Amino acid sequence: MPYASEAASNKPQNFNEIYDISVPLNKAPIYPGDRQFSQEWMERMDKGDGYNLSALSLGSHAGTHLDFPAHLLEGGKRQEEYHPGSFIMPAEVVCVPGDGPVLPGSLPESWTESGQALLFKTGNSRRNLMHQASFSDDFISLSVQATRLCVAREVRLVGIDYISVDEYGDNSLPVHRTLLENDILILEGIDLAAVPCGRYTLICLPLKIEGAEASPVRAVLIR
Ligand SMILES: [Zn+2]
């Protein structure tokens, strides 16, 4: 949601709009086989404890998250091999009409710079799928052809508005593989429902966990 209307004192300098494209970890759908998110209360003030204290249990692909090459590739890069600046970049939110997979024709025709992120706003956002706790197996994914075009255009990160860039049921994960083999980060589980198509700066910082093959992020778009 945009925070543009918040009091000026709360608004960071130089940005007119900030869109939070992350989803609540405790309400996001979970990919079949992944760990359920849980927050266990160890101390509770409403039970007479002196403070509130909780412990979290979650998969590294929970909610809005980044996939690193080590997710699929032997010896692939892990979280700590990226400079924090790798997670801050110009981004384009691309509106994709229709109910089928993202095709090459959906990519923007004009292209001014390499090293951008492309975030696909599809029917998943129109159906609000990231806000439904139950998993939907008919989500819109990327075609391999569109993925190859992303590689050719030297995109730095590809994002999609559900929890996988690959079609459900294709365990060979051709889209993941094509992106990660070309060192293109994958941002999954973003919520673009309220975000107009267009250009932004993307910030999606992973948790600092050495060896991580993926990590939840707090992702925002600013402009
Ligand atoms: Zn993932």
Query: Cβ(3)–Cβ(11) under 8 Å?
Result: yes
What is the predicted pLDDT for the residue at 108? 82
What is the predicted pLDDT for the residue at 5? 45
Cα–ligand 1 centroid distance for 176 (angstroms): 9
Mean of the per-residue pLDDT values of the chain: 93
Q: What residues have their beta carbon closer than 5 A to ion ligand 1?
A: 61, 67, 188
Cα–ligand 1 centroid distance for 158 (angstroms): 12
- The whole-model pTM stands at 0.92
What is the predicted pLDDT for the residue at 179? 98
| pLDDT value at 183 more than 90 | yes
Q: What percent of the chain lies above the pLDDT cut of 90?
A: 88
What is the predicted pLDDT for the residue at 109? 77
What is the predicted pLDDT for the residue at 92? 95
Cα–ligand 1 centroid distance for 43 (angstroms): 32
Which is catalytic among the residues 61, 65, 71, 176? Answer: 71
What is the predicted pLDDT for the residue at 111? 63
Cα–ligand 1 centroid distance for 15 (angstroms): 30
Q: State the residue for tokens 């070309």.
A: 182
Does 114 or 14 have the greater pLDDT score? 114
Band (7; pLDDT cuts 50, 70, 90)? very low
| pLDDT value at 27 more than 50 | yes
| pLDDT value at 39 more than 60 | yes
Which pLDDT tens digit goes with each residue over 87-138? 999 999 999 999 999 999 988 877 657 799 999 999 999 999 999 999 999 9
Q: What percent of the chain lies above the pLDDT cut of 70?
A: 93
C-alpha torsion sign, points 128, 171, 204, 115: negative
Which pLDDT tens digit goes with each residue over 55-81? 999 999 999 999 999 999 999 999 999
Mean per-residue pLDDT, 151-178: 96
| pLDDT value at 174 more than 50 | yes
Cα–ligand 1 centroid distance for 160 (angstroms): 11
Has 176 been annotated as catalytic?
Answer: no
| pLDDT value at 140 more than 60 | yes
Domains of the chain: 13-24+60-222 (3.50.30.50)
Cα–ligand 1 centroid distance for 17 (angstroms): 28
**HEC profile of the chain:** CECCCCCHHHCCCCCCCEEECCCCCCCCCCCCCCCCCEEEEEECHHHCCCCCEEEEECCCCCCCEEECHHHCCCCCCCHHHCCHHHHEEEEEEEECCCCCCECHHHCCCCCCCCCCEEEEECHHHHCCHHHCCCCCCCCCCECHHHHHHHHHCCCCEEEECCCCCCCCCCCCCHHHHHHHHCCCEEEECCCCCCCCCEEEEEEEEECCCCCCCEEEEEEEEEC
How many other C-beta atoms are found inside a 10 Å radius of the C-beta of residue 35? Answer: 13
Band (15; pLDDT cuts 50, 70, 90)? confident
